[in-house]
Amino acid sequence: MEDRKPRLLLVITLSELGGAQTAVSLLLPGLADRFEVTVAAQGRGPLRDAAEGAGVPYVELEHVRRSIHPWQDTRGLVELVRLCRRLRPDIVHAHSSKLGVLGRLAAWLARVPVRIYTVHGWSFAAYDGLAGRSYLWFERLMRPLTTAVVCVAEATRGQGLAARACDDARTVVIHNAVDVESSATHVESSGPPQIVSVGRFAYPKDFATLLEALALVETDYRATFVGDGPDLAEVAAAVPDQVELLGARADISDLLRRSDVFVLSSHSEGFPVSILEAMAAGLPVVATHVGGVAEAVVAGETGILVPAADPHALAHALEELLADVELRRRLGAAGRARALRLFDTPRYRAAHLDLYRRELERLELPAPVTPSRRVLSASAEPGE
């Protein structure tokens, strides 16, 4: 067998601040000494900084964009095929819906032996009508070209299997993670309780329902919304005086540390990194009961779960936490302990290394050395 490190190409649509980008960034320090790693994405955002910090080459994609456009997507596909032929990776690991399709197709055309796709949330489950049916058609089309699918939650895996978007034998669950041990725990506000929400201002995030809920809250509070996106201007026009819009920020951990309650209102989710970051900071979480959220947040133990698009239920949950500092402390401490036990980075990196090793060894290709300790997903633990 050839004496070299295996080559790994990680591709994602955008190098912006987001959960999928954080997931890739967290992998890099655990890969750089075991693989010849390259990261490719559109733009020069935080993911590029993370790659440079890990000593990993970063390729800025010229033709890949988030929106669907047949001519532009064709150019993006050609660009990715050329990149694969130049780098000759053993593994292409694609993240995000757009690169999940283009990346796997390009890798197959370039004869890359291992083609992995991480599903951060099925697009066909997030959208109704023609858009949802189109996304499902693409996923089914890509299924035979895929070596392995990584789902970030058991709920996501179940959706994919039910829709025939992935195969049972080739689909695994690896929950997202955060660097819990390095996360600073929050300091209680001296004034009114501070609510924080972090997310992209675009569907399927639902800031409109959150604003409706806040309008129903009678307890004094202050709130900050963190993020960017196409719906930001619409949200800005509707925020009350108690809410501050901060835009995209790189100091999320510090903002969480200075908050008292984390809230995430969404129509659909995979396994939100923002919730894990809040748990790591010791914040109680109020979130909509969608996707894999309940695999992170234990209702009544680490936070409160409410139905999607229900401002009254969301307002009631927020009122309950705003009025009870002891409840906030108890849920927040339990959340941090759960994140440290189940969603810290060593476990996450080891699970990916084990997957890469299995796929490479199956094809008798050079494989990395992986940690010897047994790695389980959170879902494999009884009672979790």
Q: pLDDT per residue over 169-195, tens digit each?
A: 999 999 999 999 888 888 887 889 999
Least confident of 5-9, 79-83, 129-133, 235-239: 129-133
Q: How confident is the model at residue 367 (pLDDT cuts 50, 70, 90)?
A: confident
| Greater pLDDT, 376 or 177 | 177
Least confident of 34-38, 96-100, 112-116, 219-223: 96-100
Q: How confident is the model at residue 376 (pLDDT cuts 50, 70, 90)?
A: very low
10 Å Cβ neighbour count for 59?
18
Average pLDDT (224-232) is 93
In this prediction, residue 48 carries a pLDDT of: 92
Backbone phi, then psi, for 243, in 5-degree steps? -105, 130
Strands 285-288 and 261-264: parallel
Find the radius of gyration of the CA atoms of the chain: 21
Q: What is the CATH number of domain 194-342?
A: 3.40.50.2000
Report the distance separating Cα 157 and Cα 153, nearest Å: 6
In this prediction, residue 370 carries a pLDDT of: 52
Cα 345 vs. chain centroid, distance in angstroms? Answer: 14
* Confidence check: pLDDT of 355 > 60: yes
Fold adopted by 7-177+344-380: Rossmann fold (3.40.50)
Backbone phi, then psi, for 313, in 5-degree steps? -65, -40
Percent of the chain with pLDDT over 70: 94
In this prediction, residue 381 carries a pLDDT of: 47
pTM of the model: 0.89
CA distances from 161 to 135, 147, 172 (A): 15, 15, 11
In this prediction, residue 315 carries a pLDDT of: 98
Instruction: Map out the domains of the chain as residue ranges.
Output: 7-177+344-380, 194-342
Summarised one tens digit per residue, pLDDT across range 298-352 is 999 999 999 999 999 999 999 999 999 999 999 999 999 999 999 999 999 999 9
In this prediction, residue 127 carries a pLDDT of: 79
The tokens for 155 are 């709920």
Which residue type occupies 129? G
* Confidence check: pLDDT of 383 > 50: no
Average pLDDT (75-79) is 95
CB 19 within 8 A of CB 120: yes
Least confident of 52-66, 84-98, 144-158, 370-384: 370-384
Q: Which residue has the tokens 């997310």?
A: 199
Report the distance separating Cα 153 and Cα 304, nearest Å: 19
Average pLDDT (14-21) is 78
* Confidence check: pLDDT of 378 > 50: no
* Confidence check: pLDDT of 382 > 70: no
Summarised one tens digit per residue, pLDDT across range 246-256 is 998 888 999 99
Which of helix, strand or coil describes residue 85? helix
> Can 7-177+344-380 and 194-342 be said to share one CATH topology?
yes
* Confidence check: pLDDT of 374 > 70: no
* Confidence check: pLDDT of 2 > 90: no
Of the chain, the end-to-end C-alpha distance in Å amounts to: 42
Backbone phi, then psi, for 17, in 5-degree steps? -80, 120
